[in-house]
């Protein structure tokens, strides 16, 4: 049995029934990491010694007959922009290449209390800025396990590729404008962004604070629900954390779809969408109808501005958030500078990569006195219009759907010289961040070239239940069982 390809809920059952030990699961994951990670470049830091200790502890607990949580003994990888106490947290940047946080992010504390097993810290676009995981300080781009000439998607490319390749059971990514869902769709796995505020951002190194949200990447929808239950909940250390009770998400999965009102968003499903994604959408919609859902198309006119609004707001927030990396308290410092000003300038010029500098400059421009009204302020207003369009649509529909991305995974290097083309990759995913909505991507088939196609389901704020229910039913109907031949 390939333990490293099972889902967390399947492994949980095997662990509870004492048919397998956590150390055996870890062993099969560690072997797989050894075999494939050099080709994929998913891991920046492997923590297999720590993982061994955690797995042994979990096995002891089981042997003593203690009750264990769903994630106990399960090998999980973490995107390297979430703080792990005493373990390098680099954001794939020279700026933080040796940074060891003195505290754990809230999500890490939560997973620890579930007795998870940490396999390591996963590669990403520097400071989570990118759609392809090519902006990496450590080694080359993350490669797609389905075709290593192609990108894994970004910015949580390591988190998605590692789950697809079988060298972690599940992982955490962060999603500011699609970075959990997009790589999940490129790599043929499930990626979920919860409602903004559902999962604490404490200890997530900030990119754009009004958009950032942590989410799970898993092999199936049940595992996504299980991970959500481990992650969600109020945290006083995050001022935007939502203080609402968290339901048991798995209870909704098996409810049927009869009467569910589904809206297919015109603005995200027609223009600029390639034929494979369109056929993935058509097939999924046909299945939803067969299962009793009522499907109609819907127009959200303001979404045509969403990508521009996203890039103005995210760059503006990034320019403010990244101001803290000045070479003084932590991070890269130019040691030869002769004045304070020169030290700031040189440390930041050397410490950040090209794309991060591009965002800082765009954002600073949008926030600057002469341009604030034309860019930042206007983008804020259009964001409100986008939220209103979603609110109107949710008066009529339970869930809204679209492809996750305009295309399947593209070739490494194909879009790096053309930032606008790269940014277009986020067309379908970024609106959910602007409105703070929960959204999932699930694999719905393979293209003619054998690459996974993703399908996106969104719902109103705090309606993760609807997203998960629709995704689970579709997953059952599709039975997507393909695996990369790596």
Residues that bind ligand GLN (CB under 6 A): 128-131, 155, 174-179, 207, 314, 426
Please report how close the Cβ of residue 212 comes to ligand GLN at its closest, in angstroms.
7
H or E element, residue 368: none
From 133, 155, 171, 402, active-site residue: 155
From 28, 93, 131, 179, active-site residue: 179
Specify the pairing of strand 261-265 against strand 294-298: parallel
- Could you give the C-alpha distances from 346 to 166, 353, 379, 389, 438, in angstroms and in order? 41, 13, 32, 45, 40
Tokens found for residue 400: 């809204």
Burial (CB < 10 A; 0-12, 13-18, 19+), residue 338, is exposed
Residue from 331, 358, 359 nearest 346 by CA:
331
H or E element, residue 290: helix 275-290
**Position with the least CB separation from ligand GLN:** 179
- Could you give the C-alpha distances from 72 to 6, 13, 343, in angstroms and in order? 15, 11, 46
Q: CA 467 to CA 197: how far, in whole Å?
A: 17
Please report how close the Cβ of residue 426 comes to ligand GLN at its closest, in angstroms.
5
In the complex with ligand GLN, the residue whose CB is nearer, 58 or 163, is: 163
In the complex with ligand GLN, the residue whose CB is nearer, 30 or 184, is: 184
- Given CA atoms 122, 125, 129, 132 in this order, what sign does their dihedral have? negative
Please report how close the Cβ of residue 144 comes to ligand GLN at its closest, in angstroms.
16
- Could you give the C-alpha distances from 218 to 3, 104, 161, 185, 392, in angstroms and in order? 15, 22, 11, 11, 31
Residue with structure tokens 């945290």? 235
In the complex with ligand GLN, the residue whose CB is nearer, 106 or 314, is: 314
CA-based end-to-end distance of the chain:
17
In the complex with ligand GLN, the residue whose CB is nearer, 310 or 325, is: 310
Is 339 in the active site?
A: no
From 21, 46, 79, 143, active-site residue: 79
Q: Cβ atoms within 10 A of the Cβ of 113, count?
A: 11
- Could you give the C-alpha distances from 280 to 19, 298, 454, in angstroms and in order? 38, 18, 7
In the complex with ligand GLN, the residue whose CB is nearer, 164 or 428, is: 428
Please report how close the Cβ of residue 408 comes to ligand GLN at its closest, in angstroms.
16
Specify the pairing of strand 214-218 against strand 190-193: antiparallel
In the complex with ligand GLN, the residue whose CB is nearer, 73 or 173, is: 173
Please report how close the Cβ of residue 30 comes to ligand GLN at its closest, in angstroms.
29
Please report how close the Cβ of residue 249 comes to ligand GLN at its closest, in angstroms.
22
- Could you give the C-alpha distances from 323 to 82, 252, 364, in angstroms and in order? 19, 43, 10
In the complex with ligand GLN, the residue whose CB is nearer, 151 or 221, is: 151
Q: Cβ atoms within 10 A of the Cβ of 24, count?
A: 16
Is 447 in the active site?
A: no
Please report how close the Cβ of residue 357 comes to ligand GLN at its closest, in angstroms.
14
Is 200 in the active site?
A: no
The torsion defined by the Cα of 309, 312, 316 and 317, in degrees rounded to 10, comes to 40
The torsion defined by the Cα of 256, 260, 263 and 268, in degrees rounded to 10, comes to -20
Please report how close the Cβ of residue 437 comes to ligand GLN at its closest, in angstroms.
14
In the complex with ligand GLN, the residue whose CB is nearer, 229 or 314, is: 314
Active site residues: 79, 155, 179
């Amino acid at each position: 049995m390939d333990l490293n390809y099972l889902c967390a809920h399947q492994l949980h059952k095997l662990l509870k029934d004492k048919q397998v030990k956590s150390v055996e699961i870890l062993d099969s994951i560690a072997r797989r990491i050894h075999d494939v990670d050099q080709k994929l470049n998913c891991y920046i830091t492997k923590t297999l010694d720590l993982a061994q200790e955690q797995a042994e502890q979990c096995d002891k607990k089981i042997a003593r007959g203690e009750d264990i949580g769903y994630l106990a003994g399960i090998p999980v990888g973490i995107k390297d922009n979430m703080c792990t106490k005493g373990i390098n947290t680099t954001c794939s940047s020279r700026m933080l290449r040796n940074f060891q946080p003195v505290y754990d992010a809230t999500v890490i504390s939560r997973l620890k209390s579930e007795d998870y097993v940490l396999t390591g810290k996963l590669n990403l676009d520097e400071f989570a800025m990118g759609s392809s995981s090519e902006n990496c300080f450590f080694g080359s781009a993350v490669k797609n396990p389905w075709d290593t000439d192609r990108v894994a998607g970004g910015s949580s490319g390591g988190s998605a590729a590692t789950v697809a390749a079988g060298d972690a059971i599940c992982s955490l990514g962060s999603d500011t404008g699609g970075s959990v869902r997009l790589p999940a769709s490129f790599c043929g796995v499930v990626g979920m962004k919860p409602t903004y505020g559902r999962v604490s951002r404490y200890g997530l190194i900030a990119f754009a604070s009004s958009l950032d949200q942590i989410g799970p990447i898993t092999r199936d929808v049940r595992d996504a629900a299980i991970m959500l239950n481990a992650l969600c909940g109020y945290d006083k250390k995050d001022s935007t954390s939502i203080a609402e009770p968290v339901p048991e998400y798995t209870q909704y999965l098996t409810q049927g779809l009869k009467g569910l009102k589904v809206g297919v968003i015109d603005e995200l499903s027609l223009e600029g969408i390639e034929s494979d994604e369109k056929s993935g959408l058509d097939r999924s919609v046909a299945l939803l109808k067969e299962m009793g859902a009522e499907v109609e198309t819907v127009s959200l006119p303001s979404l045509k501005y969403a990508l521009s609004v996203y890039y103005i707001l995210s760059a503006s927030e990034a320019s403010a958030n990244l101001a803290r990396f000045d070479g003084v308290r932590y991070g890269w410092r130019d040691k030869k500078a002769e004045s304070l000003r020169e030290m700031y300038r040189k440390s930041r010029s050397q410490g950040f990569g090209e794309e991060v500098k591009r965002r800082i400059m765009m954002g600073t421009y949008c926030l600057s006195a002469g341009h604030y009204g034309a860019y930042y302020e206007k983008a804020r207003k259009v964001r409100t219009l986008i939220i209103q369009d979603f609110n109107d649509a949710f008066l009529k529909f339970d869930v809204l759907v679209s492809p996750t991305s305009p295309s399947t995974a593209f070739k490494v290097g194909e879009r790096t010289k053309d930032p606008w083309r790269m940014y277009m990759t986020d067309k379908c995913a970024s609106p959910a961040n602007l409105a703070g909505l929960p959204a999932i991507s699930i694999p719905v088939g393979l293209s003619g070239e054998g690459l996974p196609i993703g399908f996106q389901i969104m719902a109103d704020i705090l309606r993760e239940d609807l997203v998960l229910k629709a995704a689970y039913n579709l997953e059952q109907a599709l039975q997507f069982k393909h695996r990369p031949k790596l």
